């Protein structure tokens, strides 16, 4: 993921959110250096939540935003989650940080509502450790009530290996969340095992096609075929489909033509801070009344 960060920083010249470019420091040295800093990051208010819009593929209107965590490191700059989330999980801070992200996202949803923006979904990524923690259901319930958010407006994104790894423990928590009326999306679909039986078994309403499958559309006929099949299968199970990593007009045209429901990717917008997304919204609403 350090690689990805370098890559992202390089082609990121046009905005101010270029990620920190790691030196060739050994991963372990990096880890040892960052761990004590991460333990203080929440108290020092160094985490940020960026938002990336998701569009309805037919109307072009905004259908939601995904909340994505960043760490504003005091000397190294803005860090992508791939560089520090594994450490957070390892040192047992995932629940605390995850709760913080959830609260930020709910507070932001309430702020947009108060400012009169049309209601769109807020998607938040949930780590395996959070699903295992029974207080997640309580936290979500409290946040929905505190910020007066319709449960249907909140979407939790889970990856399938959470369920594969924890299975018996995860299933009841997901069911409880679903019973609250919160929506569930299966993230990064098409990678790993992507077992069809999980799709049937999980109480999810949406599938997110992984960006690795979108990347080589239209050059790779296999990826096209897989993306097409995922869309058709999801629809036959009454699930909606969001494609991630949409970077080109060709990809957008292909996905729309295959009846993909939602589009997310740099073509539409990179993940940006809330204040900037608000400006993006103003412009987007003018363009798509």
- Segment lying near ligand C2E (by CB under 6 A), choices 24-32, 71-79, 81-89, 228-236: 81-89
Q: Which two tokens stand for residue 282?
A: 């103003």
CA distance 232 to 220: 19
CA distance 51 to 99: 17
- Asked whether position 125 contacts Mg ion by CB under 5 A, the answer is yes
Could you give the string, one character per residue 172-191, with x where binding to ligand C2E holds by CB under 6 A and - elsewhere?
A: ---------------xx---
* 106 interacts with, out of ligand C2E, Mg ion, none, CB within 5 to 8 A per kind: none
**Position among 53, 64, 190, 271 found at the interface with ligand C2E (CB under 6 A):** 271
* 101 interacts with, out of ligand C2E, Mg ion, none, CB within 5 to 8 A per kind: ligand C2E
DSSP, res 195: -
Task: Give the residue closest to ligand C2E by C-beta.
Answer: 265
Q: Compare residues 173 and 214 and give the one whose CB is closer to Mg ion.
A: 214
Phi then psi for 174, rounded to 5 degrees?
A: -60, -40
Q: How far is CA 191 from the centre of its chain?
A: 16
Binding to ligand C2E, residues 201-240 (CB under 6 A): 211
Closest CA to 274 of 109, 29, 77, 95: 109
Q: Compare residues 116 and 216 and give the one whose CB is closer to ligand C2E.
A: 216
- Segment lying near Mg ion (by CB under 5 A), choices 3-11, 19-27, 163-171, 181-189: 181-189
Binding to ligand C2E, residues 46-75 (CB under 6 A): 52, 68-69
Q: Residue 65: in which H helix or E strand, if any? A: strand 62-73
Phi then psi for 266, rounded to 5 degrees?
A: -60, -25
Q: Compare residues 57 and 243 and give the one whose CB is closer to Mg ion.
A: 243
**Position among 188, 223, 224, 261 found at the interface with Mg ion (CB under 5 A):** 188
* Locus of tokens 């037919």: 58
Which sign, positive or negative, has the C-alpha torsion 266, 268, 270, 271? negative
CA distance 53 to 65: 4
Q: Compare residues 99 and 188 and give the one whose CB is closer to Mg ion.
A: 188
Say how many C-beta atoms besides its own lie within 10 A of residue 134's C-beta.
Answer: 12
- Asked whether position 160 contacts ligand C2E by CB under 6 A, the answer is no
Q: Which two tokens stand for residue 188?
A: 């990064």
Count the residues of the shown chain that bind ligand C2E, applying the rule CB under 6 A.
23
* 82 interacts with, out of ligand C2E, Mg ion, none, CB within 5 to 8 A per kind: ligand C2E
Q: Which two tokens stand for residue 266?
A: 């740099």
Binding to ligand C2E, residues 9-38 (CB under 6 A): none
Q: Compare residues 105 and 281 and give the one whose CB is closer to ligand C2E.
A: 105
Q: Which two tokens stand for residue 7?
A: 């890559």
* 261 interacts with, out of ligand C2E, Mg ion, none, CB within 5 to 8 A per kind: none
Give the pairing type, strands 47-56 and 77-79. unpaired
- Asked whether position 277 contacts ligand C2E by CB under 6 A, the answer is no
Which sign, positive or negative, has the C-alpha torsion 158, 162, 164, 169? negative
> Are 178 and 155 contacting, i.e. CB atoms less than 8 angstroms apart?
no
Q: Which residues bind Mg ion (CB under 5 A)?
A: 125, 157, 187-188, 244
Q: Which residues bind ligand C2E (CB under 6 A)?
A: 52, 68-69, 80-82, 85, 98, 101, 125-127, 157, 187-188, 211, 244-247, 265-266, 271
């Amino acid at each position: 993921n350090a690689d990805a960060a370098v890559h992202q920083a390089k082609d990121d010249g046009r905005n101010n959110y270029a990620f920190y470019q790691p030196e060739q420091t050994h991963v372990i040295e990096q880890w040892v250096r960052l761990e004590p800093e991460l333990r203080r990051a929440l108290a020092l208010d160094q985490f940020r939540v960026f938002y990336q819009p998701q569009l309805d593929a037919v109307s072009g209107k905004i259908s939601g935003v995904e909340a994505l965590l960043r760490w504003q490191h005091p000397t190294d700059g803005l860090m992508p989650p791939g560089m520090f989330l594994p450490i957070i999980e390892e040192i047992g801070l995932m629940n605390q940080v995850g709760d913080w992200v959830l609260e930020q996202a709910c507070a932001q949803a309430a702020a947009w509502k108060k400012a009169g923006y049309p209601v769109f979904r807020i998607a938040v990524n949930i780590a395996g450790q959070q699903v295992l923690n029974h207080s997640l259901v309580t936290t979500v319930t409290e946040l929905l009530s505190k910020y007066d958010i319709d449960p249907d407006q909140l979407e939790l994104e889970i990856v399938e290996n959470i369920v594969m790894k924890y299975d018996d423990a995860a299933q009841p928590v997901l069911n409880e969340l679903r019973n609250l009326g919160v929506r569930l999306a299966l993230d990064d679909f098409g990678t790993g095992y992507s077992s069809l039986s999980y799709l049937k078994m999980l109480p999810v309403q949406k599938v997110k096609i992984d960006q690795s499958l979108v990347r080589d559309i239209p050059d790779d006929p296999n990826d096209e075929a897989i993306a097409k099949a995922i869309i058709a299968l999801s629809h036959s199970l009454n699930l909606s489909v969001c494609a991630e990593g949409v970077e080109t007009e060709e990809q957008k045209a292909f996905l729309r033509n295959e009846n993909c429901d939602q589009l997310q990717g740099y073509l539409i917008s990179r993940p940006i801070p809330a204040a900037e997304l608000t400006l993006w919204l103003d412009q987007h609403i003018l363009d798509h009344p």
